[in-house]
Amino acid sequence: MIFELDNVELYFKNKRILNGIYLKAETGKVTAILGRNGCGKSSLLSIAFGTLQPKYKLVRLNSKPLLKPLYKTEIAKYLPQYNFLPNDLKLSFIFKLFQLDWSLFIQKFKVFSSFKHYKIKTLSGGERRIIETYIILKTKSSIIFLDEPFSHLSPLHIELVKQLIAEEKKDKIIIISDHMYQHIIEVSDTIYLLKNGTTKKIEQLTELEDYKYLSEGSL
Ligand SMILES: Nc1ncnc2c1ncn2[C@@H]1O[C@H](COP(=O)(O)OP(=O)(O)OP(=O)(O)O)[C@@H](O)[C@H]1O
């Protein structure tokens, strides 16, 4: 499957945030969006998912315009920056709800072995983030949007989430945004830099320095 987001124009009040966006992502690849704080990465992901309505946008799936927002379909899942799991639900219930196997989860994330009957509200910020990221990555879908999946995670858990992304991308389109650029560089196949409201496809990593996203010598 090929997902394209084209011709996006987004304003908040009279301020133009996005203009002249093109992004192409495909099954088997991780497509990343990098950019400074406030450049519009989260807005772009929400527009792609269909939960934020800009002035203009065009979404194509396999070259055909998609008129229905993706969030109304079963084909896409979205990890927002904010916590989305209700506080009072137990992990056992959540895994059942999303039809996920708890034992497969704890094989990978061993520290959660004793957490099965814990409620979401008893987890730390990072633990909660791991659960949410795991659910979005493992639930049946064809397209996944991940907004800052590495925030709040310890180094070991970041590595486990990167492994999970590498496994899941085999039959999914994964579109990801995060400030941890080293991890993004490692995990992604294609990188777009969002700057001055437009996307630039990065052909060589040194362009991230040339466009002043990274300071000289960061790579
Ligand atoms: N609902 C809103 N109303 C008005 N302005 C908004 C709204 N949401 C976002 N903005 C503004 O739009 C711009 C882009 O925001 P967005 O959250 O998409 O950026 P971002 O690149 O994801 O930032 P960060 O990396 O800091 O998370 C920012 O200047 C933000 O202040």
Pair 43, 145: CB distance under 8 Å:
no
In-domain check, residue 108: no
12 Cβ closer than 6 Å to some ligand 1 atom = yes
d(CA 192, ligand 1 centre) in Å: 18
From the CA of 17, how far away is ligand 1's center (Å)?
A: 8
Using CA of residue 118, residue 120, residue 126, residue 129, what is the dihedral sign? positive
45 CB within 6 A, ligand 1: no
139 belongs to a structural domain: yes
Residue 38 located in a structural domain: yes
Exposed e or buried b per residue across 177-212, where buried means at least 16 C-beta atoms within 10 angstroms of its C-beta:
bbeebebbeebbebbbbbbebbbbebeeeeebeeee
Residue 20 pLDDT grade (very low, low, confident, very high; cuts 50, 70, 90): confident
Q: Does the CB atom of residue 40 touch ligand 1 within 6 A?
A: yes
219 in a structural domain: no
Residue 201's domain spans which residues?
2-82+125-210
The 10s digit of each residue's pLDDT in 55-94 is 999 999 999 999 899 999 999 999 999 999 999 999 999 9
In a domain, 104, yes or no: no
Average pLDDT of the segment spanning 163-177: 97
219: pLDDT strictly greater than 90: no
pLDDT in tens, 34-63: 999 999 999 999 999 999 999 999 999 999
Q: What is the mean pLDDT of residues 175-179?
A: 98
Q: Is 114 a domain residue?
A: no
Mean pLDDT of 102-118: 97
For atom 9 of ligand 1, which residue has the closest CA? 43
Total structural domains in the chain?
A: 1
Does a structural domain hold residue 71?
yes
Q: How many CB atoms lie within 10 A of CB 166?
A: 13
For 188, the 3-state DSSP assignment is: coil
Ligand 1 proximity of 35 Cβ (cutoff 6 Å): yes
pTM assigned to the model = 0.97
| Helix (H), strand (E) at residue 160 | helix 155-168
Q: Is residue 159 part of a domain?
A: yes
Tell me, what CATH number does 62's domain have?
3.40.50.300
- Please identify, by atom number, the ligand 1 atom nearest to the C-alpha of residue 81: 27
